[in-house]
Amino acid sequence: MSQTAQTMDFDFVIIGAGSAGCVLANRLSADGRYTVCLVEAGGSDSTPRVQVPAGTITLYKSPQYSYNFESAPQTRLNGRSLHCPRGKVLGGSSSMNSMIYIRGMRSDYDGWSAAGCKGWAYDDLLPFFKRSEGNRLGQDETYHGTGGELSVDRPRDPNPLSQMFIDAARGIGLPHNCDFNAGDPFGVGVYDVTQKAAHRLSSYRAFVHPVLQRKNLTLLSDCRALSLRLEGSRVHGVYVEKEGATLLLNAKREVVLAAGAIGSPHLMLMSGIGDVAHLRESGIDVKHHLAGVGRNLQDHLDGLVTVRSSSAKTLGFSLRSLPKVVASPFKYLLRKKGWLTTNYVEAGGFARTRYAAGGDPDVQFHFVPGYRSHRGRLFEYGHGFAIHTCVLRPKSIGMLTLSREDKRAPLIDYNFLAREEDARVLIEGIKLARSILASPVFDPIRGKEMLPGAYVQSDVALLDYIRAHAATVFHPAGTCKMGIDAGSVVDPQLKVIGLEGLRVADASIMPTLVSGNTNAPSIMIGEKAADMMLADARRGKATYESAMSAA
């Protein structure tokens, strides 16, 4: 990398203005003592496609707002490559997700602690969840915060089919759960969402946009990180590209990678930090051997049950729904009601299959009050409804490496269904989803099951269906694993093992994937990382002042 690049100096440099990075930028710059630079490769989020909840469906394959990664062919999924969208916009994936506020289960975090990650048990982390949260629902303050920047509310105008789903699920023994983030998440209900006044509230809009006036906070958007600047065992900064020019952002204290489970390990590998054999094979100069970088990739594998319907109560395009579609912009602008308020997965919940261990749910449902195309299309004419079912605690572990064809691109291999347990759980989860949809509650609007299809009944046939159609819920995690074993990339303080001046703070540090959606846990990770960094900075200042006083 050029040594003549223009330089800019900061105390902290954060790579990635996503769920965790925006929290870090806010907390580290809050008291004005430290200069902070937040770097984001994507651009502005000022579009209805991002701000209006229903716009989320237009973002997943957008070349402007999404990194449209494709996985390596999945051996056990009939050689299919899977789409892996990641947010390329201020707010990162929190600007394109379904806005569901789920934290995961107590046992997830207690498991991290039991594996050696001291300070990461559920009781340790609850204060950080509460710090961010601005709960608008009057939920139990034992579990919820009311003064945080992240507004947590209910969908403004849930589709009536969402209540039908809840009623049908109760018929198979799943209770109505009004708060998945307090106590036992078992049951079904309408999901809480990160919205404010019927608009998406991304991490950027919650934590950074309101404080852009801070003189010690610099935001560089449309700015791509190229590589880390290493000297010996210390990271001193980051080379970035903006408007065709290369800049060096020096970090007097620390660089923090918050680019997500794809971006953070990829930047480390491109900087020569990773498994020595892989780096040499890829033609990258080895700066620091760390075998775990890019390993431990986990995601939630998802199976779909989708049903046709003749009812225009469901979300969909048809002559019968045309008046509702045409009226929706006016209803949204005037009353903040109607179709444009939907996040498409308003209701869902958590269930136990016969393989659930320890009593915790092992599958999650996302109910869609509209037709999910059996052909994989973004839009399909007509009406229907669907349930997505995902495996909450996958045993199959994948990895991220550098592509041989283009080392600037990550090669993502989920390694789905490497462990038979995952297939067994998903098969049972799909059976539960079918049981819900078989309820008499749906009889008035019932149509043909398009996927898996009535002829797909046996476990063998369902497994064939999963191999042909299963996808991901877009929750990649674990590729910069936190821990104390040989496969770990960061320690429990999120410092990269064997290096100084570099931390990672995003979903990539999860030792095991949380049992639910990953946005809220990533925001929590940003909160805890900022707390640890500020504590270290204060200790460092106190040590320096003590030494000067003694001198």
> What's the Cα-to-Cα distance from 479 to each of 146, 311, 331, 343, 505, rounded to whole Å?
33, 44, 43, 28, 12
Cα 446 → chain centroid: 33
| Number of folded domains that form the chain | 2
Residue type at 335? R
At 161, is the secondary structure helix, strand, or coil? Answer: helix
Quick one: tokens of 544? 């320096």
At 135, is the secondary structure helix, strand, or coil? Answer: strand
Q: What is the CATH classification number for the domain harbouring 500? A: 3.50.50.60
Helix axis angle for 519-550 and 122-132, nearest 10°, is: 100
Q: Bridge partners of 524?
A: none
Residues of the chain with pLDDT under 50: 544-548, 551
Residue 451 parent element (H or E): strand 449-451
Q: Which of 469, 487, 504 is the last residue of a domain?
A: 469
pLDDT of residue 1: 58
CA atoms within 13 A on the CB side of 200: 29
Q: What is the CATH classification number for the domain harbouring 332? A: 3.30.410.40
User: Could you tell me if 343 and 280 lie in one domain?
Assistant: no
Listing DSSP states for 341-403 in one string gives G--S--EEEEE--TT--TT---EEEEEESBPPPTT--S--BBEEEEEEEEESS----BEEEE-
User: Could you tell me if 286 and 423 lie in one domain?
Assistant: no
User: Could you tell me if 210 and 241 lie in one domain?
Assistant: yes
pTM for this entry: 0.96
Cα torsion 257, 263, 268, 272 to 10°: value is: -150
Cα 237 → chain centroid: 26
User: Could you tell me if 319 and 403 lie in one domain?
Assistant: no
Instruction: Let me know if residue 523 belongs to a domain.
Output: yes
Active site residue 374: no
CB environment 461-482: b (16+ within 10 A), e (fewer):
ebbebbbebbbbbbbbbbbbbb
pLDDT of residue 112: 98
User: Could you tell me if 61 and 81 lie in one domain?
Assistant: yes
User: Could you tell me if 332 and 448 lie in one domain?
Assistant: yes
User: Residue 520: how many CB atoms within 10 A of its CB?
Assistant: 25
> Helices marked H in 53-204 — which ranges?
106-114, 122-132, 160-170, 203
The contacts of residue 126 (CB under 8 Å, 6+ apart) are 143
Instruction: Let me know if residue 161 belongs to a domain.
Output: yes
User: Could you tell me if 37 and 175 lie in one domain?
Assistant: no
Instruction: Let me know if residue 531 belongs to a domain.
Output: yes
User: Could you tell me if 174 and 295 lie in one domain?
Assistant: no
User: Could you tell me if 318 and 337 lie in one domain?
Assistant: yes
Instruction: Let me know if residue 104 belongs to a domain.
Output: yes
Backbone phi, psi, residue 306, to 5°:
-125, 135
pLDDT tens-digit readout, 142-163: 999 999 999 999 999 999 999 9
Quick one: tokens of 33? 């003592």
Instruction: Let me know if residue 514 belongs to a domain.
Output: yes
pLDDT of residue 544: 41
Q: What is the sign, positive or negative, of the torsion defined by CA atoms of 402, 404, 408, 413? A: negative
Burial of residue 30, with CB atoms counted within 10 A of its CB: 0-12 exposed, 13-18 middle, 19 or more buried? middle
Short-list 204, 152, 195, 221, CA closest to 56: 195
pLDDT of residue 548: 40
Q: Are 207 and 149 in contact (CB under 8 A)?
A: yes
Listing DSSP states for 291-302 in one string gives TTTT-SBB--EE
Q: Bridge partners of 36?
A: 12, 217
User: Could you tell me if 427 and 501 lie in one domain?
Assistant: no
Cα separation, 237 vs 241, in Å, equals: 13
Instruction: Let me know if residue 548 belongs to a domain.
Output: yes
Helix axis angle for 420-437 and 160-170, nearest 10°, is: 110
pLDDT of residue 461: 98
Let me know how long the chain is. Answer: 551
Number of DSSP helices (H) and strands (E) in the chain, helices first: 12, 24
Structural domain boundaries, residue 339: 156-190+301-391+417-469
User: Residue 43: how many CB atoms within 10 A of its CB?
Assistant: 15
Instruction: Let me know if residue 195 belongs to a domain.
Output: no
pLDDT of residue 371: 87
User: Could you tell me if 91 and 26 lie in one domain?
Assistant: yes
Q: Bridge partners of 398?
A: 297
Catalytic residue among 366, 374, 383, 475, which?
475
User: Could you tell me if 370 and 292 lie in one domain?
Assistant: no
At 195, is the secondary structure helix, strand, or coil? Answer: strand
Cα torsion 438, 443, 447, 452 to 10°: value is: -10
Instruction: Let me know if residue 233 belongs to a domain.
Output: yes
Cα separation, 148 vs 521, in Å, equals: 15
Short-list 8, 6, 25, CA closest to 16: 25
